[in-house]
Structure 1
Amino acid sequence: MATSTELPTSRGPRQALPDPGERVPRISWPIVGIFSGAIALFAASTWAALADVLPVPVTIGLSATAIFVLFTVLHDASHYSISTHGWVNAAFGRIAMFFVSPLISFRSFAFIHIEHHRNTNDGDNDPDHFISGSPLWQAPLRFGLMDFPYLSFIVRNVRRRPRVEVVETSLLLVTSTAVILACALTGHFWTLALVYLIPERVAMFVLAWWFDWLPHHDLKDTQQENRYRATRNRVGAEWVLTPLLLSQNYHLVHHLHPSVPFYRYVAAWQRNEEEYLERGAAIGTAFGQQLTPDEYRDWKRLNGRMRRLLPLRKAARSLSALGFHTIPVSSVDKLTNESVLINFAVPEELKDQFLFEPGQHLTVRTKIGTKEVRRSYSICSSADSGTLAIAVKHIPDGIFSTFAMEHLRPGDTLDLMTPTGSFGAPLNPLAVKRYAAIAVGSGITPVLSILRTTLVVEPESSFTLIYGNRDAESTMFRRELDDLEARYADRLRIVHVHSRDPRHPPLLSGRIDRTKLDHWLDSELAPSLVDEWFLCGPVDLVADLRELLIERGANTDHVHVEIFQGYRTLRSTDGFDAATVVVGLSGRQHEVKLAAGDTVLESALKSGIEAPYACLGGACGTCKAKVTLGSVVMDQNFVLSKADVKDGYVLTCQSRPTTPSVTVDYQG
């Protein structure tokens, strides 16, 4: 874990970068895949050219495509993004360099490219400024000559470079020239041109256009002046631009985080989008319109209706942005004799704050009598519907659920925290996946949001829901589920399990348990056939079913768990000492004293710090924070992923210090 406790104090261009949440892999399998595919494609097109079995333009296009793809291999290798092992990057880089431009060595290219990153848009020192700084009328003429200025750059810096690198580049330059002359003298120049020279120049033209001109042209700030405006992201039509440009439409992310592999640029952007916008990130549309951050936010709203065609965007907000807003209730509708549906009228100016991903939840706060009450409820509306709703099931002696059932009316207001949680899975309209969910009682609420959104966004995916209740009368959203099953009859199957209905089929009677799940896993829900699992219900049941799924071969990363509530552990001082805790919240740091046995959240609340929380049982994730100094131990964790824990995140309501001093940051 990091040991620094310093918090950013400004929003300037040199402010510490947000954590992209991405790391260099031990081996980048996407790179291995495109590398192998490109080599195979180049070999096939070379054979086609030599055997004269395809038209000349086709063979040139295929070879140029292979070289274009190999540049991404070379590019990631130069940033050591392919592997944590340096020799792996060098091996891939050297091979790719032969195809992209055999005039210089891989080491020389890496040096030149890093200089581009250091001096972006600096006309005197940026080796790529030959392209990005070109007058418009000259740009097409320069595109095909992109790599030739690199040679003069090497000459100017030859004394700075290791001798072995200079010798390697000199040998490559001499060898390349000799091969071209030999082919010309022996009458094979056209063959060489068809197999390599022409495709290589075509690829270079496209690379200059897409990887240099589009991201950098007409931007005046250098990397040293403002790294958030030295290059841009290009938004819109991402379903085609992202694969076509191999993610370089998110070129700003690459310049901010050069070691992030190319296929994770989008994920890094989505993780911290709002923080990048707050820093003035340069953004353009697919058609060249330049957008300010506020214009980009407006552009997103105006394009909200396109969600059926584009992947849902993560509602990016930092943990420090979590806060309560007073929101009017627009309707309170009876679902069953024991539950109500509450719809909220979110004011227009707060719509962005309450964007949510399917599977997220709201923390509700209100005063009932003289007591402040907080509860966490999953959002049940679809993420593309423009509505915000929760369902509340009555619990005997439950303070808030009784209030909601008996007293809450349209026009009343409740304090809502902006949405949190990560129960859902990323969606993409091009995906063809199979989903399965098991829900019990009010566990249907987050699953319903996921189910509704998935069926809309991914028109080729299918969904199976196993839903347990006492009987039909106690089934929340029964009519809506029937309507959904009728509308998506070819892609949605709902299996109702009733524990107290004597008329129900024997195989579907009783409670959902391991025996029933075993039966389904042996037939239509074999783990090898299901891409994502969602489990929501009582903690004992969910834990048992998750264990069985993993035993039967389901991938732990694709078994998503949400529980009604966590276990409330008893306070104990055994094995714990008093500690000093520094709490980072909303850009400020607060030092508090923690009594032996208290959790980090308890110590913060006792000191009057408005730290975010809801369930206090490790079930909702609202109190998530990052440990930046010292260490803690969590009593339980039903929310955080392995990646979250590895990155230092904890549930503060479950965290007790194991060192004398601990620093946690709710901004993360």
Structure 2
Amino acid sequence: MSLYLDDAQRQEIQRMRASMRWRSEWPTWLLIAGVYGGWFGVALNAQALGMPLALGALALLSCWYMSLQHELLHGHPTRSPLVNALFGIAPLAVWFPYAVYRESHLRHHDDDHLTDPARDPESYFVSPERWASAGPTMRLLLALRNTLVGRVLLGPAFSIAGALRGVAVAVARGDVRVAASWALHLVLLAALVYWLEHRCGIRWFAFMFGVGYPALALGAVRSFHEHRAVADAPQRTVINEAGWFWRLLFLNNNYHAVHHDLPGVPWFALGTVYHRRREAYAERTGRFVVQGYGEWLKRFALAMVAPVVHPFAGHKVPAARVTRIRDTFARPTANDASNRLAG
């Protein structure tokens, strides 16, 4: 569902939708060619490039591919989920089947329950019950995961473990669709690993842990504190005014509040939509606006960005406590009092 700031914005986006750029989606087609061409081009020339450089380039391209998968599942560049899936099922980023990611991510777009660990599959909060049952080591790891360094280093391991746990539960309850998605993914992954080893000289462990894991780590930079736990749903999602490199790598998903309001807007139009209404979006998000990922690095490299336990998931919260939580998660930065960041 699209949530417009007002009727004027709705009409403006309808005009943009009628443009040849939007109707043809040629930037997304060019992106598909660039991602696949770059990935396989690097793989085929891995020996000539040298393995460290090749693995680094493949990790970067695999992260870009995950951004492309995100675009595909949101209905671009075609209206056909099947056609889009054909461009997203290749296991270039190793760890997750496209179909499983698609289903999970679309559930994440239920903004009324955003960040609630019981409802939001992409929440980095945990329930009070999970915290209470965790041992000292797990509590430490969960706390470290809420720092930027910890999210990059440990976040992929948590995601992989969660995916494996999820498929085990799905198979145990007889979920044929999930089992079929994983079966297809594993067959394609085996074929890709065989090709990489015998044609490109890239061993399976180098691909999985020298490409797949670093790609997830790069993606964790984007997802670090994309959402905060506050009472007002529109104020839960960040606007990150990142530099051009990160915008291209993440396909403008740094303008995350705009994406959640307007999930049908293609990646190449998100920046335009945001900058035409920059102040309005700042107001809508409760000034949850960040001046690039370096802001998170300076503040939260080794400091927790948020509590591990969700402040009020699944509970009716007294108004006074909601105000305290909102204020805690909306302190102004030292260098820009107009931008409030979650503390």
What's the TM-score bracket when you normalise by the shorter of the two chains? 0.5 to 0.7
Instruction: Tell me which of 41, 44, 49 is aligned to 1:44.
Output: 41
Q: Which residue type is aligned with residue 169 of structure 1?
A: W
Q: Which residue type is aligned with residue 100 of structure 1?
A: A
CA-CA distance at 1:262 after TM superposition: 1.4
Instruction: Tell me which of 36, 55, 60 is aligned to 1:60.
Output: 55
Q: Secondary structure at the match of 2:226?
A: helix
Q: Secondary structure at the match of 2:240?
A: strand
Q: Which residue type is aligned with residue 192 of structure 1?
A: W
Q: Secondary structure at the match of 1:231?
A: coil
Matches within 5 A, 1:301-320: none
CA distance in 1: counterparts of 2:258 and 2:101, whole angstroms: 21
For residues 129-153 of structure 1, the C-alpha deviation after alignment (integer angstroms, 9 at most, x for no partner) is: 3489733274243233234413333
Matches within 5 A, 1:657-668: none
- The verdict on how the C-alpha distance between 1:228 and 1:175 changes in structure 2, with shifts beyond 3 A counting, is same
Q: Is the 8 A contact 2:155 2:217 kept in 1?
A: yes
Q: Higher helix fraction: Structure 1 or Structure 2?
A: 2
User: TM-score of the superposition, structure 1-length normalised?
Assistant: 0.35
CA-CA distance at 1:72 after TM superposition: 1.7
CA distance in 2: counterparts of 1:182 and 1:37, whole angstroms: 21
CA-CA distance at 1:165 after TM superposition: 4.6
Instruction: Tell me which of 260, 267, 274 is aligned to 2:265.
Output: 260
Q: Does 1:107 align with 2:99?
A: yes
CA distance in 2: counterparts of 1:169 and 1:249, whole angstroms: 29
Q: Secondary structure at the match of 1:126?
A: coil
CA distance in 2: counterparts of 1:240 and 1:190, whole angstroms: 27
Q: Which residue type is aligned with residue 99 of structure 2?
A: R
Other-structure match for 1:168 = 181
Q: Name the count of aligned residue pairs.
A: 271
Other-structure match for 1:152 = 165
CA-CA distance at 1:232 after TM superposition: 0.5
Other-structure match for 1:590 = none
Q: Is the 8 A contact 2:38 2:61 kept in 1?
A: yes
Other-structure match for 1:349 = none
Instruction: Tell me which of 61, 64, 74 is aligned to 2:69.
Output: 74
Q: Which residue type is aligned with residue 213 of structure 1?
A: F
Instruction: Tell me which of 135, 152, 158 is aligned to 2:146.
Output: 135
CA-CA distance at 1:117 after TM superposition: 2.2
For residues 141-176 of structure 1, the C-alpha deviation after alignment (integer angstroms, 9 at most, x for no partner) is: 323323441333355566999734532323434774
Instruction: Tell me which of 18, 28, 32 is aligned to 1:35.
Output: 32
CA-CA distance at 1:240 after TM superposition: 4.6
- Structure number with higher relative contact order (C-alpha < 8 Å, ≥ 6 residues apart): 2
CA distance in 2: counterparts of 1:66 and 1:112, whole angstroms: 23
CA RMSD of aligned residues (A): 4.0
CA-CA distance at 1:43 after TM superposition: 1.6
Other-structure match for 2:133 = none
Give the gaps of 5 or more residues in structure 1: 1-14, 300-668
Q: Which residue type is aligned with residue 99 of structure 1?
A: L
Instruction: Tell me which of 273, 280, 284 is aligned to 1:275.
Output: 280
Q: Secondary structure at the match of 1:249?
A: coil
Q: Is the 8 A contact 1:67 1:99 kept in 2?
A: yes
For residues 79-128 of structure 1, the C-alpha deviation after alignment (integer angstroms, 9 at most, x for no partner) is: 11322343332222224xx2123x54322210011122224311233222
Other-structure match for 1:125 = 119
CA-CA distance at 1:285 after TM superposition: 2.1
Instruction: Tell me which of 219, 228, 237 is aligned to 1:207.
Output: 219
For residues 307-365 of structure 1, the C-alpha deviation after alignment (integer angstroms, 9 at most, x for no partner) is: xxxxxxxxxxxxxxxxxxxxxxxxxxxxxxxxxxxxxxxxxxxxxxxxxxxxxxxxxxx
CA distance in 1: counterparts of 2:246 and 2:192, whole angstroms: 37
Other-structure match for 2:237 = 231
Q: Is the 8 A contact 2:237 2:288 kept in 1?
A: yes
Other-structure match for 2:229 = 220
- The verdict on how the C-alpha distance between 1:262 and 1:278 changes in structure 2, with shifts beyond 3 A counting, is same
Q: Which residue type is aligned with residue 149 of structure 1?
A: G
CA-CA distance at 1:46 after TM superposition: 1.3
Matches within 5 A, 1:323-472: none
Other-structure match for 1:513 = none
Q: Is the 8 A contact 2:115 2:125 kept in 1?
A: no
CA distance in 1: counterparts of 2:107 and 2:239, whole angstroms: 21
- The verdict on how the C-alpha distance between 1:157 and 1:114 changes in structure 2, with shifts beyond 3 A counting, is farther
CA-CA distance at 1:35 after TM superposition: 1.6
Q: Is the 8 A contact 1:143 1:209 kept in 2?
A: no
Other-structure match for 1:498 = none
Q: Which residue type is aligned with residue 265 of structure 1?
A: L
Q: Is the 8 A contact 2:237 2:257 kept in 1?
A: yes
Q: Is the 8 A contact 2:78 2:84 kept in 1?
A: yes
CA distance in 1: counterparts of 2:34 and 2:194, whole angstroms: 31
Other-structure match for 2:313 = none
Q: Which residue type is aligned with residue 57 of structure 1?
A: P
Q: Higher strand fraction: Structure 1 or Structure 2?
A: 1
User: TM-score of the superposition, structure 2-length normalised?
Assistant: 0.65
Larger Rg: 1
